[in-house]
């Protein structure tokens, strides 16, 4: 299961970037600046940023297909610099491209519509395909997770990352079924999960939705990548640099919210029962808004993907970056354990 070296044909245009106007307002690109689009995807944000100012955009993505799209775009606009890699390493990637500091970082967290629409990527049960779900094409796949992880490990992943209340039952049924035959396709997994929870029973969404979400997030270490990306942005942003993060899941938004509040110097207030906590390091960020910015009703009507989106933004101060390691706080089994069992 090695990294693909031959890319597919670039997907046709059609990706709608979520909360584009709000992203541009918070990011405020200016002439001569260097902006990192850490999740290039379909290039929606990058295209708008390049139009908004005479700036340079470092377009990062671990998906080779996305980089192919970026390279085609860069042929027409050399101010775009495509970089293959994980946005959790965005500071290292930027430095390797000759930029020791940058003026802005934007992250659009989650799976892209291009990935969902390609059946052979295995992200969605709406189109039957191989059970893959890897954004970068390397490491354990979704099939490896479902076919080799312990029952307890599966239940923990499905419950914590999918917030699926039937996680234990689903994990038990998956383990029982894989003894008879390994899971290989998205349709097979979706059907068994649906059977495990007793069918749809009038539910609006497919019973396997949360399980697929959880396995995808685990396979790609999405929360860990987000935590690393936030730390990387803190390290490379100039004083006055802007960080803009768009999330689509409560776990992601919670991580961003808590991290930004901490790095903006928010500490619990004192009371007669508990003394005032001592202040930590100097704030590395100043919040642009105290609450998350949400999409307009009009955008949700035209782009349903925006329904759960939340935008949080902050401005870098001149304080030193934190030295502690990034953590997603999930404490799930490491993917390395699956590597050993394959």
Any idea what the CATH number is for the domain that residue 216 is in?
1.10.150.170
Cα separation, 71 vs 83, whole angstroms: 9
Any idea what the CATH number is for the domain that residue 87 is in?
3.40.50.150
- Confidence (pTM): 0.86
Query: Is 87 assigned a ligand-binding role in the annotation?
Result: yes
pLDDT digits (tens, 9 = 90+) for 274-300: 555 456 689 999 999 999 999 999 999
As to burial, measured by CB atoms within 10 angstroms (0-12 exposed, 13-18 middle, 19+ buried), residue 118 is middle
| Whether residue 253 is found in the same domain as residue 192 | no
Query: Is 108 assigned a ligand-binding role in the annotation?
Result: yes
pLDDT digits (tens, 9 = 90+) for 245-277: 999 999 999 999 999 999 999 865 444 555 554
Residue 227, sorted as left (phi over 0), alpha (psi -120 to 50) or beta, turns out to be alpha
Q: What are phi and psi of 323, to 5 degrees?
A: -100, -10
Find the mean pLDDT for residues 106-114. 74
Write out the two tokens for 189: 């997994």
Average pLDDT taken over every residue of the chain: 86
pLDDT digits (tens, 9 = 90+) for 39-64: 999 999 999 999 999 999 999 999 99
Pick from 243, 285, 280: which is nearest to 264 by CA? 285
CB neighbours (10 Å) of residue 176?
12
Query: Is 45 assigned a ligand-binding role in the annotation?
Result: yes
Query: Is 115 assigned a ligand-binding role in the annotation?
Result: yes
Domain that holds residue 56: 20-45+52-67+76-108+240-261+277-316
Query: Is 288 assigned a ligand-binding role in the annotation?
Result: no
For residue 235, being part of any structural domain is answered with no
| Whether residue 162 is found in the same domain as residue 208 | yes
pLDDT digits (tens, 9 = 90+) for 314-337: 999 999 998 877 777 677 777 655
- Please give the tally of structural domains in the chain: 2
Contacts of 184 (CB under 8 A, 6+ apart): 130, 131, 143
Distance (Å) of CA 219 to CA 138, 145, 194, 337? 10, 8, 21, 12
């Amino acid at each position: 299961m090695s990294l693909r070296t031959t890319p597919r044909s670039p997907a046709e245009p059609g990706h709608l970037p979520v909360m584009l106007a709000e992203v541009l307002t918070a990011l405020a690109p200016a002439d001569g600046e260097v902006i990192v689009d850490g999740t290039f995807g379909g290039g929606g944000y990058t295209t708008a940023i390049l139009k908004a100012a005479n700036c340079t955009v470092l377009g990062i993505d671990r998906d080779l297909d996305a980089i192919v799209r970026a390279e085609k775009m860069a042929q027409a606009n050399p101010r775009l610099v495509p970089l293959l890699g994980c946005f959790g390493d965005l500071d290292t990637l930027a430095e390797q491209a000759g930029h020791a500091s940058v003026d802005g970082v934007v992250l659009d967290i989650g799976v892209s519509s291009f990935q969902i629409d390609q059946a052979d990527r295995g992200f969605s049960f709406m189109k039957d395909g191989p059970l893959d779900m890897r954004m970068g094409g390397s490491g354990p796949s979704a099939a490896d997770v479902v076919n080799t992880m312990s029952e307890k490990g599966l239940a923990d992943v499905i419950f914590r990352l999918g917030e699926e209340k039937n996680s234990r039952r689903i994990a038990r049924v998956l383990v029982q079924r894989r003894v008879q035959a390994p899971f290989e396709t998205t349709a097979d997994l979706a059907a068994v999960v649906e059977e495990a929870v007793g069918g749809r029973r009038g539910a609006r969404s497919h019973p396997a939705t949360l399980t697929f979400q959880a396995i995808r997030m685990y396979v790609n270490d999405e929360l860990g990548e987000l935590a690393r990306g936030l730390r990387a942005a803190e390290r490379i942003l100039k004083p006055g640099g802007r960080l803009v993060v768009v999330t689509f899941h409560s776990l992601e938004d919670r991580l961003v919210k808590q991290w930004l509040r901490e790095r903006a110097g928010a500490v619990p207030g004192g009371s007669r029962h508990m003394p005032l906590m001592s202040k930590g390091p100097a704030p590395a960020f100043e919040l642009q808004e105290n609450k998350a910015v949400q999409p307009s009703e009009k955008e949700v009507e035209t782009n349903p993907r925006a329904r759960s989106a939340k935008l949080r933004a902050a401005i870098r101060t001149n304080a030193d970056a934190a030295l502690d390691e990034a953590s997603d706080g999930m404490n799930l089994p490491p993917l390395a354990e699956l590597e050993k069992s394959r």
